Structures are given as C-alpha cells and as structure tokens.
Amino acid sequence: MAFEKRTDNYFHFTSWRADDLKEGQLTATLWEETHYWNFQGGNNEEQIQQMARDFEAVAIQSGAKFSKPAVTAMARNKAKAQRMKEEQLERIRATEFPDLPSRRNCIFLCESEGQMRQFITEFGFPTKDKRIIELRTILFKEELNRQELAGFGITKEQFQELNKCNRHRANPKFLNSNIPGPEQQNKMRRYWRGDHTGEDELTEVLYYGFMQLDRIVEDFG
C-alpha cells in the first residue's frame, strides 16, 4: 500500500486492549458510533455508577449527605443532559457545519502528551484499564486495490471519504454547560467555528480517517 505519512502526530486516551495494539499497525475510524457517544445517554450503568461515586466524594468533602438512590438519580440526570447536549451539538454540525467531522463517529485526539494528560485530569477520566497512545494520521497517495479494501472491510466510496483525513480543532470548554438554551447553542457554534479563548487553553482534535499507531505512551493497567 502506497501512503504518505503525515507529519501530524497526535495522542489518544483509549480503552483498546494493549494486546491488540501493535506498533506500525494501520487502522481507521470505521465505527458507526464512538465509545464516547455510546457512553452518553443515562443508560450506561458503568457511567452512572462512576458519576455517582464522583458526586458522593464531592458531597463527603463538603459535609453534605445524600442517600445512594439520590446520588444515583443525580448521576443519571446529568448523563441524560449530556446526551441531549451531544445530540443538539450534532444537529448544529449537520445543518451549519456539514463538512466537519462528527463527534458521533470520529476519534478524539490531543496535539501533545501534556495536553492529553491535562484532559484526563481536568475532565476526571477514570484510568483503570486505559492507556495513552501516540498515532499519526495517514493519507494514501492512491486508491487501494480490491484486496486492500477487503482487508479494511470497506468499499471504494468509504475509502474515498476516509482518505480526506477530515479533522477539526476545537476548544472543549465551550461545551462545559449542560443547560439548554440560546447561550449554550451560541457556544456550540463557537466550538464548531474553532474559536479560541487563549493560548493556554485545552484543544481537542476531531479526526475522521486513516491512522497508524506509533507507540503506547503509558498503560495504566
């Protein structure tokens, strides 16, 4: 396969098994929905219980007391609000910014290892059974032949779409609020426009296309 290696290296926080990650392997955003998208909605019990534990820890620190059912209900409501936000965000993208990659089926990347670790800390991502990997985006110089397409399990049309290496650089802090309304929608549009608020802000990259794994940076076990 003839491909041109892009100089764009990124970092990704993933639950992909270490045994399935091989240096130099090629992959692509072939999933219909990301793990993140599936994790939203209030029906994922792993997410609900993790949120409930987080709420409980904050309550204990502040001296407040809540019953376990109450904490679980709070977590479920927050998860549903997040899913509603993601669905509204996707509607705005599809109607006003259709050329940008969708959060529904992209891969979320950071431009440096430091930013990736900052993401994990600031957003409170659990690290159990997770790892940070470094990868680079791939642009093929020519179309794949029938055998190579079969190896990826894709059609010629899917290859052409993936080989656009579509990406979007954005500030995730525009999405901090789960409260619906005009102000939230305005921030969503700023997110899709790629607006920024300062040099030291967090930046995430939404990417849709082919990738090559460079290395596992850290396996949290």
Q: What is the pLDDT of residues 67-117, one digit of tens each?
A: 777 778 877 787 788 888 999 999 999 999 999 999 999 999 999 999 999
Residue 118 predicted with pLDDT over 90: yes
User: Tell me, what amino acid is at 58?
Assistant: V
Enumerate residues 6+ apart whose C-beta is below 8 A from 62: none
Instruction: Say if residues 84 and 41 touch (Cβ distance below 8 Å).
Output: no
Instruction: Say if residues 132 and 216 touch (Cβ distance below 8 Å).
Output: yes
Residues 152-182 pLDDT 10s: 899 999 999 999 989 999 999 899 888 889 9
pLDDT at 4: 52
Largest Cα separation within the chain, whole Å, is 64
Residue 6 predicted with pLDDT over 70: no
Residue whose pair of structure tokens reads 């005009």 in the numeric block: 182
Residues 43-60 pLDDT 10s: 567 777 777 777 676 666
Enumerate residues 6+ apart whose C-beta is below 8 A from 69: none
Q: Which secondary structure element, helix H or strand E, spans residue 131, and what is its range? A: strand 131-140
Q: Which domains does the chain have, with CATH numbers?
A: 3-35+100-219 (3.20.170.10)
User: Tell me, what amino acid is at 87?
Assistant: E
**Structure-model confidence comparison of residues 12 and 142, the more confident one:** 12
Strand partners, 26: 212
pLDDT at 75: 77
> Computed from CA positions of residues 217, 57, 43, 190, in that sequence, does the dihedral angle turn out positive or negative?
negative
pTM: 0.85
If pLDDT is split at 50, 70 and 90, which confidence band does 66 have? confident
Residue 120 predicted with pLDDT over 60: yes
Q: Which of 28-42, 121-135, 144-158 has the lowest mean pLDDT?
A: 28-42
The mean pLDDT of the chain is 86
Which tokens is 219 given? 């396996």
Instruction: Say if residues 207 and 101 touch (Cβ distance below 8 Å).
Output: yes
Proportion of the chain above pLDDT 70, given as a percent = 87
Q: Which secondary structure element, helix H or strand E, spans residue 216, and what is its range? A: strand 210-219
DSSP state letter for 101: P
Tell me what the mean pLDDT of segment 4-31 comes to. 85
